[in-house]
Amino acid sequence: MKTLPIIDLLIIGIYLVSMVAVGIYFSRKTKNADQFTTASGKIPGWAIGMSLYATFLSSNTFLGVPGKAFGSNWNSFVFSLSMPLAAWVAARFFVPFYRHTGEVSAYTHLEHRFGAWARTYAVICFLLTQLARMGSIFLGIALSLQALTGYSMQTIMLVVGTCIVLYTVLGGIEAVIWTEVVQGVVKTVGALVILWLVVSGMSGGVDRIMEIGKADHKFSLGSFAPDFTQPTFWVVLLYGFFMNLNNFGMDQNYVQRYHTTTSIREAARSIWLCVYLYVPISLIFFVIGSCLYAYYQTNPELLQAVQLQVAAERLPNGTPDAIRQLAATLSPADIGDKVMPNFMVSKVPTGLLGLIVAAILSAAMSTISSGMNASATVFSVDIYQRYVKSDLTSKQSLRLLYIATTCFGLLGMAMGIAMIGVKSVLDVWWLLSGIFAGGMLGLFLLGIISQRTGNAEALVATLIGLLVIVWMTFSPQIPEQYDYLKSHLQQNMIMVVGTLTIFLVGILLSNLRRKTPKPVSEVYER
């Protein structure tokens, strides 16, 4: 750990103040709830696309992806490869659907389709998913800045979180979108700078990186065997498709942005711009991870320093000998999330370090701010105005959004603090999001695709799907003597199986009962 040079601190300070200033600027335009949640539908499609790209490119990508590539290979990149198909489905079917309903919440239509329980269930799943995501992102930023500043991770989360709350509350969705446009550029430049520093500092250059990477299988996309008990190519592809379908089709962070554009065409274009930007840039982060692996293999003293750091964190009260013994047993997978911060501390020159820290901050801030705004919108529309008080004045609605945004920011910080000590930020996020999102996506697809499915069938299907999700999640805890009761599928399959269970059971029950409810179009016409 070390103290950042003054010039780097100035760069970071200017960046943070600028983000808050954007919030203050747009606060003058935020006069009602519609402006806070949809910017009155006047944002250009290219800005929405940049905003979606920045939301995808979170600190989980900035720190977790290089750590994952360092510890294993490029298997997780298959997640990005699944994005085009999910984007096509969203642009072709979901965007027109949401624009025609006119509902700012992604979950209001579920009540029209299946009843209040469906809407409430989806909202709860979404809010839990957002808290898990915000927490993992807060953790990622704290891991990086702790190595640079020496401050505790709790302190870092509180300081960064306060800045995010300020500009998100002050400026609403318009401030979120335009700050994300800037943050998307900063993140991309930061990634390219890191890649250049690693490659230029590597003895032997690209050829040596390729030699080490090929020898240790660092460029592999995973096994192509039809095995769903391991994170094979097919497992990650399936998980990525369903998760990206959930992101583009049901996640309030994205659906809300479809309403901020001027037309359906602009909203669809924003999705494709996000894909065109994210897929190649996400590959760069995997390349960075492989380059760092080669760099540390040729600099064993730096590798040992990271191992000692991780061992000391795991044994805070351990003796020096015990820490050294533990350090010697740590694998690349055990230290992956610490490698990028360590490289920044030891090898990034003054000035550029401030830029890279700003890029990491922007990676965290963009996703957290959009999550806060979306969570506040859902809470206001789907919970408070649905169950507490529906006839809010414009002033009361705006005040409620301010309070809810602040509360979700604080809860996200608390979740990040609770996650301190996890092994892999990316793994934690994938597991939690798969659990919470699986049932929600299955119910949504059932309502959109199957017009014959009624309330009762959807409820039974959702309950069965939830039981399957809970069983798959906690089956590793089942004692060995009851091994036959365990799920042996890889954990990323939880979302896939949960989604398909709800959808297929709902279809089966609908066919058995032959009950035909009113189509969604008739419900909205009424």
Query: Quick one: pLDDT band at residue 135, thresholds 50, 70, 90?
Result: confident
The answer, yes or no, to whether residue 84 has pLDDT greater than 90, is: yes
Q: How far apart are CA 346 and CA 365, in angstroms?
A: 25
* pLDDT tens-digit readout, 297-345: 998 888 898 899 889 888 888 888 999 999 999 988 888 878 887 888 7
Evaluate whether residue 478 is within a structural domain: no
Structure tokens at 428: 């934690």
Instruction: Mark residue 229 as left, alpha or beta (left: phi above 0; alpha: psi -120 to 50; beta: remaining).
Output: alpha
- Per-residue pLDDT, averaged over 286-297, amounts to 94
Res 525: pLDDT: 47
Evaluate whether residue 400 is within a structural domain: yes
Res 435: pLDDT: 66
Evaluate whether residue 356 is within a structural domain: yes
CA distances from 79 to 72, 228, 287 (A): 15, 15, 15
CA distance between the termini of the chain: 63
Least confident of 38-52, 293-307, 325-339, 415-429: 415-429
Least confident of 25-29, 226-230, 237-241: 25-29
Other beta carbons less than 10 A from residue 187's beta carbon: 26
- Per-residue pLDDT, averaged over 493-507, amounts to 92
Task: Give the domain extent around 326.
Answer: 6-419
The answer, yes or no, to whether residue 76 has pLDDT greater than 70, is: yes
- Per-residue pLDDT, averaged over 476-495, amounts to 87
Q: How far apart are CA 304 and CA 326, in angstroms?
A: 11
Amino acid residing at 324: R
The answer, yes or no, to whether residue 516 has pLDDT greater than 70, is: no
Other beta carbons less than 10 A from residue 321's beta carbon: 8
Least confident of 92-106, 183-197, 353-367: 353-367
Res 427: pLDDT: 59
Structure tokens at 126: 């979404």
The CATH number assigned to the domain holding 110 equals 1.20.1730.10
Evaluate whether residue 458 is within a structural domain: no
Evaluate whether residue 342 is within a structural domain: yes
Res 524: pLDDT: 44
Q: Which residue has the higher pLDDT, 65 or 345?
A: 65
Q: How far apart are CA 170 and CA 186, in angstroms?
A: 22
Res 46: pLDDT: 93
Evaluate whether residue 100 is within a structural domain: yes
What sign has the CA pseudo-torsion 21, 26, 32, 35?
Answer: negative
Residue pair 505/442 in contact by the 8 Å Cβ criterion: no
The answer, yes or no, to whether residue 428 has pLDDT greater than 70, is: no
Helix axes 425-449, 493-513, angle to 10 degrees: 20
Report the chain's mean pLDDT, rounded to a whole number: 85
Q: How far apart are CA 225 and CA 242, in angstroms?
A: 20
CA distances from 266 to 252, 374, 488 (A): 18, 20, 44
Evaluate whether residue 454 is within a structural domain: no
Other beta carbons less than 10 A from residue 519's beta carbon: 12
Evaluate whether residue 257 is within a structural domain: yes
Query: Quick one: pLDDT band at residue 523, thresholds 50, 70, 90?
Result: very low
Q: Which residue has the higher pLDDT, 202 or 436?
A: 202
Res 48: pLDDT: 92
Structure tokens at 235: 């497992």
- Report which secondary-structure segment, H or E, holds 138: helix 116-149
Angle at 172 between CA 129 and CA 190, to 5 degrees: 70
CA distances from 348 to 185, 187, 504 (A): 20, 16, 52
**DSSP state at residue 518:** P
The answer, yes or no, to whether residue 408 has pLDDT greater than 80, is: yes
Q: Nearest Cα to 154, choosing from 401, 341, 453, 417?
A: 417
* pLDDT tens-digit readout, 430-474: 566 666 666 788 898 998 888 888 899 999 999 999 899 889 888
Res 439: pLDDT: 76
